[in-house]
Amino acid sequence: MKKLNCAFYNILPDLKTYTRNKMSGFNLSISDKPFEIDKLDPKTEVLGIFVESKIDKKVFAKLPNLKMIAAFSTGFDHVDLKEAKKKKVAVCNVPTYGENTVAQHTMAILLAISKKIFQSTKRVKEGNYDYHGLRGFDLRGKTVGIIGTGHIGYYMIKMLSGFEVNVIAYDPFPNEKLTKELNFKYVTFNKLMAQSDIVSLHVPLLPETTRMINKRNIKKMKPGVIIINTSRGGLIEPEALVWGLETGHVAAAGVDVLEEERYISHPECLLESDCKSEDVKDSLMENIIIDHPNTIVTPHNAFNTTEAIKRIIDTSVENVKAFAKGEPQNDVTKPRKKK
Ligand code: NAD
């Protein structure tokens, strides 16, 4: 049987051997860097990419033999699915690998905000051992609104149960079984926005979830609300968050994702269509969010643990092998099977 030509990008050096060993039946080229559009090999049949690689029409045009995209992620909003379907390219994701991992990161951000951990550490390292001005708040008794009760939302609620908070949740597809298991209740989106002291987002970026927190509804949130987003930057209108932070309506924000994170993580502009002038990059709202004293911003790092990365590679390799056998799995271009 002909070996498929596979090209994997952004595989960190310490995981190259691990990945190579698992992909022994394939022609694999592996790079620890993101791809450069002009250097893509047209013979590539399977393209393996993390979320920072935007797969648009130009990439499809460069890869006439492409049959499958192995998305090393749960989210796949960085891939032009319409084009993939048109070109009959399977897009196989990793539906679960790190629900506990991402929830742990979300909790880490929330706990760091609640006890001013970064300000405290910085002060002590600067030689000042004074706690004045570093007062935090108890999580106990607070209302936490979880938007999206899928894999990660589930783990968030589970982890929060040890903190004696009141959890409310919104999901257009509520899972009533969970409410009994984890002792929380579903409310409408508007109620969640109005009643929560802390709001944490755990939904995919879809047309209907894009900028679900925006200039119109942020004013309806409780004054002093804390917003946490480890899902996708596009869920929050950056101007609205900046308004909230600058007026104090939002007491603090903890985000692992930013709407325009590609320009911040790859300012050298990887694809022609991604080019923005330096002036535009400097004026991004994201810079204000990063620099604000009441924010914690991490670089889309919530998934990043040794254990989770190995699970990503394991499932991605299984996806490629299943595809090679003619039995594709986790192909998001196909309608999802009901569980
Ligand atoms: P999931 O598919 O298991 O759950 C998503 C939930 O969102 C589902 O229950 C769905 O019904 C719900 N939902 C859909 N539309 C909604 C809406 N309009 N309002 C409220 N809820 C809605 O996904 P998951 O594994 O929990 O992951 C959630 C998201 O987290 C992913 O889509 C991805 O974007 C993001 N993520 C980020 C990282 C990171 O490193 N920062 C890592 C993994 C996943």
CA distances from 146 to 128, 157, 248, 251 (A): 37, 8, 22, 18
At residue 264, the pLDDT reads 77
Judge residue 9's burial from the number of C-beta atoms within 10 Å of its C-beta, 0-12 exposed, 13-18 middle, 19 or more buried.
buried
Distance of CA 130 from the midpoint of ligand 1 (Å): 41
CA–CA separation, 210 and 237 (whole Å): 8
Catalytic residues: 232, 261, 300
Residues with CB under 6 A from ligand 1: 74-75, 98-99, 102, 147-153, 170-173, 202-205, 208-209, 230-232, 256-257, 300, 302-303
Q: Where are the beta strands (DSSP E) in the chain?
A: 5-8, 27-30, 46-49, 68-71, 90-92, 143-147, 166-170, 185-186, 198-201, 225-229, 250-255, 295-297
Task: Tell if the pTM clears 0.85, that is, is over it.
Answer: yes
Cα separation of 152 and 321, whole Å? 27
Residue at 130: amino acid letter: D
**C-alpha 160 to ligand 1 mean position (Å):** 18
Residue 264 has phi, psi (to 5 degrees) of -85, -40
Q: Which atom of ligand 1 is nearest to the CA of 98?
A: 43
Which residue lies with its CA nearest to atom 44 of ligand 1?
A: 74
What pLDDT, on a 0 to 100 scale, did the predictor assign at position 270? Answer: 46
Total count of residues recorded for the chain: 339
**What pLDDT score was predicted for residue 339?**
41
**CB-based contact 209:243 (threshold 8 Å):** no
Dig out the tokens for 105 from the structure. Answer: 């990161």
Structure tokens at 164: 């004696």
Judged on CB neighbours under 10 Å (0-12, 13-18, 19+), 267 is exposed
pLDDT of the residue at 215? 97
- Name the stretches of the chain with pLDDT < 70: 1, 265-281, 336-339
The predicted pLDDT at position 301 comes to 94
- Ligand 1 centroid vs 147 CA: distance in angstroms? 9
pLDDT the model gives residue 284: 84
Quick one: pLDDT at residue 283? 74
Could you tell me the two tokens for 220?
């309806």
pLDDT tens digits along 74-123: 889 999 999 999 999 999 999 999 899 999 999 999 999 999 999 999 99
Of 149, 152, 228, which is best to mutate to test ligand 1, by the most ligand atoms within 8 angstroms of its C-beta?
152
